[in-house]
Structure 1
Amino acid sequence: MRYRLSLSELLNPPRSAPASSGSSAGSSKPSAPSPAGPGLDAGISADSGGYFVKSSYDWSKQQLRHPIAESDMSRPPQGPPKNLQRVQYQFQRAAFVPDATAKSRRDAVRDAFLRCWKSYTEHALPHDELMPVSLIGKDTFGGWAATMVDALDTLLIMNLKDEFNAMLPFVGALDWADTPLTSINVFETTIRYLGGLLSAYDLSGEPVILQKAIELGDLLYVAFDTPNHMPPFWFDFKDAKRGTQQAGTSDPSASPCSLSLEFTRLSQLTGDVKYFDAIERIKHFLERTQDTTQLPGLWPVFIDFAREDPTKSSDFSLGAQADSLYEYLPKMSALLGGRDPAYEKMYRSAMAAAEKHILFRPMLPGSDDILFSGNARVRDNEAADGIDTIPEGQHLGCFVGGMFGLGGKLFGIKSHIETAERLTRGCMWAYASFPTGIMPEIFGMIPCPSLDSCSWDEDRWDSEKNHPRGFKHVRDPRYILRPEAIESVFLLYRMTGKVEYQEAAWRMFTAIQDATATERANSAIMDVTVSNSSATKKLDSMESFWMAETLKYFYLIFSPPDLISLDEFVFNTEAHPFKRPDR
């Protein structure tokens, strides 16, 4: 990325500099609320509005080919919030003062974060990511310093006030028109950049952060300027300016269907309803098509959004390409204060189908009561119910435990809490099963006939493949610093108060550190099945979610439970906590 100010000017701006006149939201600065959430230090510089530099292209002025009259726009639901049930366990007072063990563990996580942060800022900023072996930067998401933006709220949560303040000039100078790319991924840009900015604003109240979020929101809003207002997977700048954008004919279902939290929060913070209207149209699509797919209740992994037709694909999953569509159903209910019953209805229907066709219990040599999230395929023939459950697990699918827990808590579904614990214990068990102490990216198992236990059959397990007992294959043995397992472990700890989740988290953290640490940071690794953790092959990759998600969840599980309370905040899929307005 190329800034219009030098790095020295960005790091040492004139403190009396006036704010740049004008922004996509107008020249007046948004009023800054006080930082939200117990445990957060409010000592953030007050004059940071002077850092704002307007982007070189104002997408709010872009003429739309398919405009929507303001009078026809949907508005966030009003009226008293529904009395959603508490999510977080009512911890005893002692839990709010961490003991020496919890404090030392939290400090270890913070030290790991700082080590990576310093390497990124020294060797990669303003690039998107640090290559942790080569110690050089690379651009993967537009060249707008993705790791920096993604980790802003982590800096605040870890009370790294000086490091956060040092980044405000960089944030203020972000130019959304300055990229070597001709197109950007709508989903990734929304969850990492827009989500990161909105969360950092919720936690700090810094006006410059919201100003940059509005600029980016206006850019992303133009992606909805298609004949049916469904956004494409790739936002092509030339197509957008020419007004020739089209929705995709075979796009991942998660892409357009999990932008709702970010766009809703932007409307809540700005009062501009256009962002909410955009994702409300996608919600209506989900409502009217949920029972029309080949597996009613669930939407397929790939959808023809141009024709708004979800019936073509026979593959279903809660994992990659579809995941956050389902994750956002209970989370949107929380963010809207339960005022829109559609999200609870869709969640209940989807999870009923998932419990029947997606979840599976593996055949194990022991008595562990665990579950995993797999895939489903609808067959062309009419045999049985025509649906096959494919017992292939993904590290990415480990978020499902936390999702079931959140839905169970918000909507008072006791059985979903039990399912959440079985799913989360499944991922904990998978971590412990491999010699590195880390679960692989993709693996296969032998399923029991139902979600109940079944007897171990040595003949069905191929011992010659040298996989841990219970695993049929390890199709992708990498670990890419993913957060989904610790995400559910953290959420289940906060929901149940069970110390066993903290203990599992510490084992996971130490295993990850042993296997992924480089000289100056942490790296994705090639193979979790190797016998010597210190000899893992490093892939020279450290995606922004390592500091935005993985280390954040590890830090929070050892922190006082009022730090980002689950009753006060809801996390987007990139672990950015958004303030629940009614709370």
Structure 2
Amino acid sequence: MISNRKGRSLTTILFLLITAYLFLVWLPLSRLHAWQHKHPKPVPAATIFLPDTIHLNAATERFPVTSYIPLPTSPSAIPQIQHNFPPESRAERKGRIKKQNAVKEAFMHSWNGYKDHAWLRDEVSPQTGGYQDSFSGWGATLVDSLDALIIMGLDDELDLAIEALDQIDFTTTRSAQVNVFEIIIRYMGGFLAAHDLTNGKHPIFLKKAAELGDMIFNAFDTHNRMPQMRWDWSKSAQGEEIEPSERTSLAELGSLTVEFTRLSQLTGDLKYFDAVQRITNELERGQSKSKIPGLWPVFVNAKDLKFDWSQFSLGGSADSTYEYLPKEHILLGAQTDQYRHMYEKAIEAIKKKLLFRAMTKDEDKQFLFTSNVRGLKGGSLHGIEYVQDHLKCFLGGTVGLASKIFNRTEDLSIARGLTDGCIWAYDSMPTGIMPETMTVSPCKEMEKCPWDEGKWYEDVLGQPIHSMGHLERAQEQVEYDGLPPGVVGISDPTYKLRPEAIESIFIMYRITGDKTLQDAAWRIFQRIDKVTRTKYGHSAIEDVRNPLSKMSDKMESFWLAETLKYLYLIFSEPGYISLDEYVLSTEAHPFKRPAGPV
């Protein structure tokens, strides 16, 4: 009986093996291919528009341009940006790839959540599995992530994304207004970078970028060719006049150059470059006429082309205009000095008026930040606030980049201090994650700054400490607000999955080759991944002081397009997406630099 059972078992095993072999060998390749490319759930029915939906097709221009500003055509030499990295050891390579794979796994976790629950919508809700359409409902996360899929070698996922692109119709949206800035940096940037990274292999990328460009170009059809940044697109569709706002964000107005320039370079259509170059010319004109000459106020009057607002900052609503000065210089092949001159005026004003050192217990390191101020006529300052927004963390990378391409070697230490300041802000929090907005205690001097606990308490309290009661109140405030030494207030304790600190770490690592920056990036990634991971992705959190913070069920597209992409590149071989070959947009989209003298 026992031997008979063994015989039957052997026969069964052989039968199963032969069946499996034949099944796999003769399975039609088309069906196997389909299995490998399992499609996500169908687009929700809510995305289908009714027949009477307004579409913006061939709108008639009210204020047409008769002659376009030409692109520069002969690139000049730009100094080398990247550090000459030595060969890595086998152990270093193994450790680096392990970290890179951990970042890639986090990316796939969030991408799969989006793919399975919010395909062709703008964002997945990472806790509940729902979706949000925050940017006109054209699939922001999908398009914003195209180049990340390419960079990480996720070919099957890229194929799925490409198949879906024809379903995006840029001529209509359920949104009453179109946020021109966000649409250009997320969508157009995603298409153009995907085109450049694949050397034009997939024509649909440039086709969709041009479709979007033709649509969004209508927002520039105003009396002075300044765009209506919160565009009432249905008016344009129905032939009605639009006008720019008297209160336009500086960042929105001044941060379209890189994407529009690259679109003109690739299509040969000069209207895009012309549109942004007109904005640059107005910014250049107004740069010396503001209340802090060299800087622009956070808001500008785009309707009347006035720059007389009083609020100055490098944070939200201003940041990327400054970021794009050296980047546009690079993308134009250094064929014009306009952006160099604008940057130099800006950085000198920043150093004189905004830059400060934070007082911390680590007295040997210069942690640098920039303040928010109100400018008075004549250049004097009022209402200085030593506030650090997470959005300001872009500045270290920007100053570092500019220090190389403009031969401003004296600014490289400032770039490092700004980057280290943001790393310190991360390391200071209980979760190891920097808050959205915090106020720090400023040093009296830049070069020498001993720790002074009494001064810190005074800054927390906002007044001199003359009694034990004052001191106790300050100590109670520190405990109640969860303030680490050197921090005097946390007005917004949220973390929105932002990339700016990691962006500067990436750029400074590529410039200096300092591996402690890689260590900082790994430390930050582990903390973010641990605290923000959810069932369907990663979520913004409400309080970085609480390791068990409540989540906001929000995952913006820049988590995949920027934060995780920068982390992945930090742990890539340093020649991959080299800063000497690509310009990375404010949304971390790599555009190929024009070939020129070396």
TM-score, normalised to structure 1, is 0.87
Asked if the contact 1:379/1:388 (under 8 Å) is kept, the reply is no
Q: Is the CA contact 1:127–1:144 (under 8 Å) kept in the aligned structure 2?
A: yes
1:197 Cα deviation from its structure 2 partner: 0.8
Q: 1:105-135 deviations in whole A, cap 9, x for unaligned?
A: 0000000000111111001112100100111
Q: Which residue of 1 aligns with 2:406?
A: 411
Matched with 2:585 is: 572
Q: Percent identity?
A: 44
Structure 2, unaligned stretches of length 5 or more? 1-29, 34-52, 458-474
* Structure-2 separation of matches of 1:428 and 1:542: 22
Q: Partner residue of 1:240?
A: 236
**Matches of 2:242 and 2:111 in 1, distance apart?**
38
Instruction: Call closer, same or farther: CA 1:373–1:97 in 2, change over 3 Å.
Output: farther
Q: Helix, strand or coil for the counterpart of 1:424?
A: helix
| Shift in Å, 1:435 | 0.8
Cross-structure match for 1:256? 253
- In the alignment, is the contact (CA less than 8 A) between 2:136 and 2:175 conserved in 1? yes
Please state if 1:100 is matched with 2:123: no
Aligned to 1:309: 306
Q: Which of 552, 568, 577 does residue 565 from structure 2 map onto?
A: 552
- Residue 260 of structure 1 aligns to which amino acid in structure 2? T
Q: Which residue of 1 aligns with 2:450?
A: 455
Deviates more, 1:241-250 or 1:316-325: 241-250
Q: Deviation at 1:562?
A: 1.5
Partner secondary structure for residue 64 of structure 1: coil
How far apart, CA to CA, are the structure 2 residues paired with 1:336 and 1:484? 24
Q: Does 1:561 align with 2:557?
A: no
User: Residue 68 of structure 2: which of 64, 68, 73 is its match?
Assistant: 73
Q: Take 1:337 and 1:545, find their aligned partners in 2: how far apart are those partners?
A: 27
Paired with 2:380 and 2:247, the residues of 1 have a C-alpha distance of: 26
Secondary structure, in 3 states, of the residue corresponding to 1:360? strand
Checking the alignment, whether the CA contact within 8 Å between 1:373 and 1:400 is kept in structure 2 is no
1:372 and 2:369 are equivalent in the alignment = yes
The aligned residue for residue 40 of structure 1 is: none
Against the structure 1 CA distance between its residues 209 and 98, is the aligned structure 2 distance closer, same or farther, given a 3 Å change threshold?
farther
Q: Does the Cα contact within 8 Å between 2:125 and 2:536 map onto a contact in 1?
A: no
What is the Cα deviation at residue 209 of structure 1? 1.1
Q: Secondary structure of 1:396's partner?
A: helix
Structure 1 residue 271 and structure 2 residue 265: aligned?
A: no
Report what 1:85 is aligned to: 79
The offset of 1:138, in angstroms, is 1.3
Q: How many residues align?
A: 522
Q: How far apart in 2 are the matches of 1:57 and 1:406? A: 44
1:181–1:59 CA distance, 2 compared to 1 (3 A): closer
Match of 2:553 among 540, 551, 556: 540
CA contact (8 A) 2:114 2:536 kept: no
Structure 1 gaps, min length 5: 1-11, 16-55
**Aligned match of 1:495 in 511, 515, 518?**
511
How many angstroms apart in 2 are the aligned matches of 1:138 and 1:370?
38
The aligned residue for residue 287 of structure 1 is: 284
Partner of 1:477: 493
Q: Residues 409 and 59 from structure 1, CA distance in 2 versus in 1: closer, same or farther, beyond 3 angstroms?
A: farther
Query: How far is 1:240 from its partner?
Result: 1.7
Q: Name whichever structure is richer in helix by fraction.
A: 2
Aligned counterparts, 1:63-462, within 5 A: 63-69=60-66, 72-79=67-74, 81-94=75-88, 99-204=93-198, 205=200, 206-241=202-237, 242-311=239-308, 313-367=309-363, 368-379=365-376, 385-462=380-457
Query: Does the CA-based 8 Å contact 2:148-2:560 persist in structure 1?
Result: yes
Partners of 2:272 and 2:536 lie apart in 1 by 41
Q: CA deviation at 1:506?
A: 0.4
The structure-2 alpha-carbon separation of the partners of 1:147 and 1:88, relative to structure 1 and needing over 3 Å to count, comes to same
Q: Deviations over 1:80-102 (max 9, x none)?
A: x2211111111123389961110
Contact 2:128–2:536 (8 Å) recurs in 1: no
Partner Cα separation in structure 1 for residue 89 and residue 590 of structure 2? 21
Q: Counterpart amino acid of 1:248?
A: S
2:373·2:381 contact (CA, 8 Å) conserved in 1?
Answer: no
What is the letter of the counterpart of residue 168 of structure 2?
Answer: L
Amino acid at match of 1:529: R
Question: Hey, what's the Cα distance between the residues in 1 that align with 2:381 and 2:557?
Answer: 41
Aligned partners of 2:57 and 2:171 also within 8 Å? no
Q: CA RMSD in A?
A: 1.9
* Per-residue deviation, 1:59: 5.5
**Amino acid of the structure 1 residue aligned with 2:574:** P
What is the deviation of 1:540?
A: 0.4
Bigger mean CA offset, 550-559 vs 163-172: 163-172
| 2:154 aligned partner, one-letter code | L
Paired letter, 2:512:
T
> Are residues 148 and 97 of structure 1, via their aligned partners in 2, closer, same or farther at CA, if it must alter by over 3 Å?
farther
> Structure 1 residue 452: deviation in Å?
2.6
The separation in 1 between residues aligned to 2:415 and 2:295, in whole angstroms, is 19
CA deviations 1:388-429 (Å, max 9, x no partner) are 542100111100000000100111101121110010011111
Deviations along 1:167-199, one digit per CA (max 9) or x if unpaired, are 112112210124211221000001001111111
Is the CA contact 1:156–1:164 (under 8 Å) kept in the aligned structure 2? yes
